[in-house]
Amino acid sequence: MAKKINVNPNRMELSRLKTRLKVAIRGHKLLKDKQDALIKAFLEKARSLKDLRESVEKELEDCYRSFLLARAQTFPAMLEQALMITGTGLSLRMSKKNIMSVIVPIFEVEQGEASLSYGLGTTTGNLDVALEKFSRLLPRLVSLAAEEKALRLMAVEIERTRRRVNALEHVLIPSFQETIRYITMKLDDQERANLSRLMRIKEIVRSH
Protein backbone atom coordinates (compact mmCIF):
# COMPACT_ATOMS: atom_id res chain seq x y z
CA MET A 1 0.00 0.00 0.00
CA ALA A 2 1.25 3.48 -0.87
CA LYS A 3 2.46 5.64 2.00
CA LYS A 4 0.37 8.74 2.67
CA ILE A 5 2.18 12.08 2.77
CA ASN A 6 1.82 13.88 6.09
CA VAL A 7 -0.11 17.07 5.20
CA ASN A 8 -3.02 19.08 6.55
CA PRO A 9 -6.25 17.84 4.92
CA ASN A 10 -7.49 21.11 3.42
CA ARG A 11 -8.51 22.29 -0.04
CA MET A 12 -5.28 24.21 -0.60
CA GLU A 13 -3.19 21.09 0.00
CA LEU A 14 -5.57 19.08 -2.19
CA SER A 15 -5.12 21.51 -5.08
CA ARG A 16 -1.34 21.57 -4.60
CA LEU A 17 -1.12 17.77 -4.54
CA LYS A 18 -3.25 17.43 -7.68
CA THR A 19 -0.85 19.77 -9.48
CA ARG A 20 2.18 17.81 -8.25
CA LEU A 21 0.51 14.57 -9.34
CA LYS A 22 -0.01 15.92 -12.88
CA VAL A 23 3.65 17.00 -13.03
CA ALA A 24 4.81 13.61 -11.72
CA ILE A 25 2.68 11.71 -14.26
CA ARG A 26 3.99 13.89 -17.10
CA GLY A 27 7.57 13.46 -15.85
CA HIS A 28 7.09 9.70 -15.62
CA LYS A 29 5.92 9.55 -19.25
CA LEU A 30 8.87 11.63 -20.45
CA LEU A 31 11.36 9.51 -18.50
CA LYS A 32 9.74 6.28 -19.71
CA ASP A 33 9.96 7.50 -23.32
CA LYS A 34 13.61 8.44 -22.72
CA GLN A 35 14.30 5.02 -21.20
CA ASP A 36 12.72 3.21 -24.16
CA ALA A 37 14.66 5.34 -26.66
CA LEU A 38 17.91 4.79 -24.73
CA ILE A 39 17.40 1.03 -24.67
CA LYS A 40 16.72 1.01 -28.43
CA ALA A 41 19.85 3.09 -29.12
CA PHE A 42 21.85 0.89 -26.72
CA LEU A 43 20.82 -2.32 -28.48
CA GLU A 44 21.62 -0.85 -31.90
CA LYS A 45 25.05 0.30 -30.71
CA ALA A 46 25.67 -3.06 -29.02
CA ARG A 47 25.00 -4.88 -32.30
CA SER A 48 27.30 -2.59 -34.31
CA LEU A 49 29.94 -2.83 -31.56
CA LYS A 50 29.79 -6.63 -31.71
CA ASP A 51 30.49 -6.52 -35.45
CA LEU A 52 33.32 -4.00 -34.97
CA ARG A 53 34.89 -6.03 -32.16
CA GLU A 54 34.81 -9.24 -34.19
CA SER A 55 36.38 -7.46 -37.17
CA VAL A 56 39.10 -5.85 -35.04
CA GLU A 57 39.86 -9.14 -33.28
CA LYS A 58 40.35 -10.86 -36.64
CA GLU A 59 42.70 -8.10 -37.80
CA LEU A 60 44.55 -8.23 -34.51
CA GLU A 61 45.06 -11.98 -34.84
CA ASP A 62 46.42 -11.41 -38.36
CA CYS A 63 48.81 -8.73 -37.00
CA TYR A 64 50.09 -11.07 -34.30
CA ARG A 65 50.60 -13.88 -36.80
CA SER A 66 52.67 -11.57 -39.00
CA PHE A 67 54.65 -10.35 -36.01
CA LEU A 68 55.29 -13.89 -34.73
CA LEU A 69 56.55 -14.87 -38.18
CA ALA A 70 58.87 -11.84 -38.24
CA ARG A 71 60.09 -12.59 -34.71
CA ALA A 72 60.86 -16.19 -35.65
CA GLN A 73 63.06 -14.94 -38.53
CA THR A 74 64.91 -12.21 -36.62
CA PHE A 75 67.46 -12.31 -33.79
CA PRO A 76 65.82 -11.06 -30.53
CA ALA A 77 68.35 -8.25 -30.01
CA MET A 78 67.94 -6.99 -33.58
CA LEU A 79 64.15 -7.20 -33.29
CA GLU A 80 64.17 -5.20 -30.08
CA GLN A 81 66.43 -2.56 -31.59
CA ALA A 82 64.26 -2.32 -34.72
CA LEU A 83 61.11 -1.85 -32.65
CA MET A 84 62.73 0.84 -30.48
CA ILE A 85 63.71 3.05 -33.43
CA THR A 86 60.50 2.49 -35.40
CA GLY A 87 58.04 5.33 -35.05
CA THR A 88 55.14 7.17 -36.60
CA GLY A 89 53.64 10.61 -36.06
CA LEU A 90 50.41 10.20 -34.14
CA SER A 91 47.85 12.65 -32.80
CA LEU A 92 44.56 11.98 -31.07
CA ARG A 93 41.69 14.45 -31.14
CA MET A 94 38.70 14.06 -28.85
CA SER A 95 35.24 15.52 -29.27
CA LYS A 96 31.92 14.75 -27.66
CA LYS A 97 28.54 13.62 -28.93
CA ASN A 98 25.14 13.80 -27.25
CA ILE A 99 23.14 10.58 -27.48
CA MET A 100 19.81 10.91 -25.64
CA SER A 101 21.37 13.21 -23.00
CA VAL A 102 24.40 10.93 -22.68
CA ILE A 103 27.68 12.68 -23.51
CA VAL A 104 29.95 10.13 -25.19
CA PRO A 105 33.55 10.59 -26.40
CA ILE A 106 34.51 10.63 -30.07
CA PHE A 107 38.19 10.03 -30.92
CA GLU A 108 39.91 10.81 -34.19
CA VAL A 109 43.38 9.41 -34.87
CA GLU A 110 45.70 11.18 -37.28
CA GLN A 111 48.79 9.26 -38.31
CA GLY A 112 51.88 10.35 -40.16
CA GLU A 113 53.99 8.14 -42.37
CA ALA A 114 55.57 5.23 -40.55
CA SER A 115 59.30 5.63 -40.12
CA LEU A 116 61.01 2.28 -40.67
CA SER A 117 64.50 3.51 -39.90
CA TYR A 118 66.02 0.18 -38.88
CA GLY A 119 68.52 -1.60 -41.09
CA LEU A 120 66.78 -3.68 -43.70
CA GLY A 121 69.68 -6.10 -43.74
CA THR A 122 69.09 -7.10 -40.10
CA THR A 123 65.34 -7.73 -40.38
CA THR A 124 62.94 -9.45 -42.75
CA GLY A 125 60.20 -8.01 -44.89
CA ASN A 126 57.69 -9.74 -42.61
CA LEU A 127 58.48 -7.20 -39.90
CA ASP A 128 57.59 -4.36 -42.28
CA VAL A 129 54.30 -6.10 -43.06
CA ALA A 130 53.50 -6.67 -39.37
CA LEU A 131 54.24 -3.07 -38.38
CA GLU A 132 52.20 -1.72 -41.29
CA LYS A 133 49.25 -3.89 -40.26
CA PHE A 134 49.51 -2.68 -36.65
CA SER A 135 49.64 0.91 -37.89
CA ARG A 136 46.49 0.48 -39.99
CA LEU A 137 44.70 -1.23 -37.10
CA LEU A 138 45.43 1.46 -34.51
CA PRO A 139 42.58 3.87 -35.49
CA ARG A 140 40.10 0.99 -35.37
CA LEU A 141 41.35 -0.03 -31.91
CA VAL A 142 40.81 3.54 -30.71
CA SER A 143 37.34 3.57 -32.29
CA LEU A 144 36.51 0.28 -30.59
CA ALA A 145 37.59 1.64 -27.20
CA ALA A 146 35.47 4.77 -27.73
CA GLU A 147 32.40 2.75 -28.72
CA GLU A 148 32.78 0.48 -25.68
CA LYS A 149 33.07 3.55 -23.44
CA ALA A 150 29.93 5.03 -25.02
CA LEU A 151 28.05 1.77 -24.46
CA ARG A 152 29.06 1.71 -20.77
CA LEU A 153 27.93 5.34 -20.32
CA MET A 154 24.60 4.55 -21.97
CA ALA A 155 24.13 1.53 -19.69
CA VAL A 156 24.73 3.74 -16.64
CA GLU A 157 22.19 6.30 -17.89
CA ILE A 158 19.63 3.56 -18.61
CA GLU A 159 19.97 2.26 -15.05
CA ARG A 160 19.75 5.79 -13.61
CA THR A 161 16.62 6.52 -15.68
CA ARG A 162 15.10 3.16 -14.72
CA ARG A 163 15.50 3.97 -11.01
CA ARG A 164 13.83 7.37 -11.50
CA VAL A 165 10.96 5.81 -13.47
CA ASN A 166 10.44 3.17 -10.76
CA ALA A 167 10.57 5.79 -7.99
CA LEU A 168 7.86 7.83 -9.70
CA GLU A 169 5.76 4.82 -10.68
CA HIS A 170 5.92 2.85 -7.43
CA VAL A 171 6.56 5.47 -4.74
CA LEU A 172 5.86 9.11 -5.55
CA ILE A 173 2.76 8.87 -7.78
CA PRO A 174 1.00 6.29 -5.53
CA SER A 175 1.79 8.46 -2.49
CA PHE A 176 0.23 11.50 -4.16
CA GLN A 177 -2.82 9.46 -5.18
CA GLU A 178 -3.24 7.97 -1.70
CA THR A 179 -2.89 11.38 -0.02
CA ILE A 180 -5.38 12.94 -2.44
CA ARG A 181 -7.87 10.16 -1.61
CA TYR A 182 -7.28 10.73 2.11
CA ILE A 183 -7.78 14.52 1.90
CA THR A 184 -10.86 14.10 -0.33
CA MET A 185 -12.34 11.67 2.17
CA LYS A 186 -11.61 14.03 5.09
CA LEU A 187 -13.14 17.00 3.24
CA ASP A 188 -16.22 14.92 2.38
CA ASP A 189 -16.55 13.96 6.05
CA GLN A 190 -16.24 17.61 7.05
CA GLU A 191 -18.85 18.57 4.44
CA ARG A 192 -21.28 15.96 5.74
CA ALA A 193 -20.63 17.04 9.34
CA ASN A 194 -21.22 20.70 8.46
CA LEU A 195 -24.39 19.80 6.59
CA SER A 196 -25.62 17.77 9.55
CA ARG A 197 -24.97 20.69 11.91
CA LEU A 198 -26.85 23.07 9.60
CA MET A 199 -29.82 20.69 9.49
CA ARG A 200 -29.90 20.49 13.29
CA ILE A 201 -29.67 24.29 13.59
CA LYS A 202 -32.58 24.67 11.15
CA GLU A 203 -34.65 22.19 13.16
CA ILE A 204 -33.87 24.07 16.38
CA VAL A 205 -34.82 27.38 14.75
CA ARG A 206 -38.11 25.91 13.45
CA SER A 207 -38.99 24.44 16.83
CA HIS A 208 -38.72 27.88 18.41
Segments in the chain below pLDDT 70: 1, 74-90, 111-125, 208
Question: 28 near 161, Cβ under 8 Å?
Answer: no
pLDDT, residue 6, reads 86
Question: How far apart (Å, rounded) are the C-alpha atoms in residues 132 and 70?
Answer: 13
Catalogue all structural domains in the chain, each as residue range(s) with its CATH number: 11-198 (1.10.287.3240)
Q: Is 152 exposed, middle or buried (CB count within 10 Å of its CB: 0-12, 13-18, 19+)? A: exposed
Question: 77 near 139, Cβ under 8 Å?
Answer: no
Helix axis angle for 76-85 and 11-72, nearest 10°, is 130
For the entire predicted model, the pTM comes to 0.75
Question: 12 near 186, Cβ under 8 Å?
Answer: no
Question: How far apart (Å, rounded) are the C-alpha atoms in residues 32 and 162?
Answer: 8
pLDDT, residue 173, reads 96
pLDDT, residue 47, reads 94
pLDDT, residue 79, reads 61
